[in-house]
A and B are shown apart, each in its own frame.
Chain A
């Protein structure tokens, strides 16, 4: 691991809570590491577990999925689906030998700008400890 290694994090955020929470962090000028890139989806329930694997395959060192707090889902129960599916994925990742520190799930509401910062810091820190991910062979990107 080189000393100036910076982990590359891909995050999937639901439009209503976590994306809005991340926006609030911006409006409140809360600073956090730039290692994280966000993909907006309408609901954390949209996040196919394969996206997480795909992100690791494509060069991410860590993945974060964040949605509304349980019970607060804008679509009533999408985050429950996310919790089930991704919880299972996390177990599976460990089983196939991927460091579980590479994958995080969190619940960040539209008012939790500061929590978002903490979540990002934790995700980046864990991925940093886990080191660069070379577990899967990377596919050539075909533009």
Chain B
């Protein structure tokens, strides 16, 4: 670098976010005196158009060749300012940010100490920025295809949107059928649309769409590569049924020796299925699957004289020899739509979910009222003596939500409304039922929700403000013990049926997805988005997007909206056909590298290899970095014995002056 550094320092007020705690003028005055600083200014909002214009103008008029913005986190606005200085003709990597908002003004109270710290951070930035080098980002081709993980309503919608735009979609679903949780629901609030009627056409569409390749009963096993070029391995689990031959007639399930013995997952365990089964009649694909744990032939090696299913199958589709199959393909973007688990009500033992059969969850209620459910939509219960229509029904809301005792402080957002809807459905089916809902607060925030809540109240559904403390049995009745907190009246309420409005939880298996895609969790344990407001469908991993309840509890309209958002974001690299790859990669100084190969072993991406070069007439081995594979983590560098391998923008000679600047200014 022959050019003398000319630095511009721009200190942001961020309204009063920074300036209320940090004396920005003092910081600018201080910066002005630092070596190589040409100009130091403050402005109310540096990221705004006039703020950026200020920087650009100085670059042009004062010939600045380095820029420091002291404002928010670089995780927030580094791309913004990189773009700004690039527009003024400067290399975008000649920028350094001092984080004086998230890590200073917002966390410290005393103006004196916050100002002193800001000065240090600016000094450290000055020390580093002088030594930054110009980098060129490279573009590589992006595969015009997407992977969608999970085929609930979020995954289905995202897949359909991307496929309709003309890109190839690989849709991977863990269970034998697409549809997810929404397929289990009876009616949807607040419009009372039948869930199946609005969902099943989409299920059929996504299976028949020419651009969608559906992998049901399959799991993503491995994801490598990066945005634009993800390499995906999918395991198609053995169904023991040849899907090409299976006609979905159901003769096998009827003939199964262990017919209707196992709890049906789809019916929340309230209905039964055989070992060979279709999860539900409208399942897509309409192909049978053998459950290997319960099938006598697969688990015990013997099923009478021979498996009956095989005997009756006219299509000869049953194949006990079938093996898992691994399929590999490349995609440019990935959408995670893995959904949620309903809260496990047995974790609230005071409600007796494990003890009393007539304490059920909201999901079970959905199956009970559904025409396709185990009772054909008739709401009946067994009270210990006889099958009765429950006349006294209690709902309890916020079970497993807004409850620090089970580690869920968040609101699940759907329970208020599904409880109201279920109360309405019971009123519909049992007009003389006495229905009450125990609640903490009613949150009816969506379009048409408040109106629906009002309507349900007018249908003589009693809302009692109070969180029941206990449910116990008295004769044939269940007693809900609570306090009506509005009148301070203790209650012992005798009922026939209790419905627990269970909340939504992160999936028990989300760890696998996290490891697969390097995702993080937010404090509520759902997947963490890149920014809670401005990048709600993005993740920290470029090219990986979130849709639906895996990111946080959502109702169907919000899920669909987010799925469409994720689809449109995922289509950006696909439509461009190119992606930028990071320029901040490691580079080897071949004149000092001794070719020991430590870095080769350290690199988790196998981005480094040893090559033979000629040094002063001798053949020697040196390390060389494949820039397309390097992610710039720098682990190699800290392990290098001769400091020969260095990540650009985070070289030793760029970090050490930062350390010096922070240390010396006591």
Q: Which A residues have a C-beta under 8 Å from some C-beta of B?
A: 8, 10, 15-17, 19-20, 22-23, 25-27, 29-34, 37-43, 45-49, 51, 54-55, 57-60, 71-72, 74-78, 81-82, 85, 109-113, 117, 138, 141, 143
Contacts and interface: CB of A to CB of B under 8 A. Distances in A.
Contacts of A38: 99, 103
Contacts of A81: 602, 635, 638-639
B635 A27 contact: no
Interface string B577-612: 000000010000000000000000010110000000
B274 to A, nearest CB: 40
Contact of B664 (A31, A33, A59, A78): A59
B103 A22 contact: yes
A42 B659 contact: no
Nearest to A13: B103
Contacts of A57: 663
A82 to B, nearest CB: 8
A78 B635 contact: yes
14 contacts: A27-B106, A29-B107, A34-B116, A37-B662, A43-B633, A45-B638, A48-B638, A54-B656, A54-B660, A59-B664, A81-B639, A110-B520, A111-B528, A117-B107
A47 to B, nearest CB: 6
A141 B73 CA distance: 27
B520 A109 contact: yes
B638 A72 contact: no
B536 interface: no
Nearest to B130: A143
Contacts of A39: 124, 655, 658-659, 662
B521 interface: yes
Contacts of A110: 520, 522, 528, 540
* Residues of B in contact with A, size category: 35 or more
B631 A34 contact: no
B463 to A, nearest CB: 33
A51 B655 contact: yes
Nearest to B128: A39
B107 A30 contact: yes
Given A60-B662, A81-B639, A141-B660, 4 more contacts: A23-B102, A31-B107, A45-B635, A78-B635
A27 to B, nearest CB: 6
A46 B124 contact: no
Contacts of B104: 26, 34
Interface string B619-633: 000000000000111
A143 B632 CA distance: 28
A54 B643 CA distance: 15
Contacts of A72: 514, 520
Given A32-B107, A34-B108, A47-B638, A10 B662 contact: yes
A49 to B, nearest CB: 7
A58 B655 contact: no
Interface of B: 35, 73-76, 99, 101-104, 106-110, 113-114, 116-117, 120-121, 124, 514-515, 518, 520-523, 528, 540-541, 584, 602, 604-605, 631-635, 637-639, 647, 650, 652, 655-656, 658-666
Given A48-B637, A110-B528, A111-B528, A26 B103 contact: yes
Contacts of B108: 31-34
Contacts, number: 162
Given A48-B637, A75-B631, A75-B633, A8 B103 contact: no
B114 A34 contact: yes
A25 B107 contact: yes
B528 to A, nearest CB: 6
Contact of A34 (B117, B650, B665): B117
Contact of B73 (A26, A32, A54, A55): A26
Given A34-B114, A110-B520, A111-B523, A26 B101 contact: yes
A8 B659 contact: no
B666 A8 contact: yes
Given A16-B540, A20-B75, A23-B73, A41 B655 contact: yes
A46 B120 CA distance: 22
B121 A37 contact: yes
B512 to A, nearest CB: 12
A42 B515 contact: no
A40 B649 CA distance: 11
Contacts of B656: 51, 54
A23 B650 CA distance: 20
A103 B37 CA distance: 33
A16 to B, nearest CB: 6
A143 to B, nearest CB: 4
A15 B655 CA distance: 14
A58 B638 contact: no
B25 to A, nearest CB: 19
A46 to B, nearest CB: 3
B584 A42 contact: yes
Given A58-B664, A75-B604, A85 B518 contact: no
A123 to B, nearest CB: 14
B464 to A, nearest CB: 35
A78 B520 contact: no
A22 B479 CA distance: 48
A70 B604 CA distance: 15
Given A54-B659, A111-B521, A37 B584 contact: no
Contacts of A58: 659-660, 662-664
The 10 closest A-B pairs by CB, nearest first: A26-B102, A46-B634, A58-B663, A45-B635, A59-B663, A75-B633, A26-B106, A43-B633, A34-B113, A23-B102
A54 B514 CA distance: 36
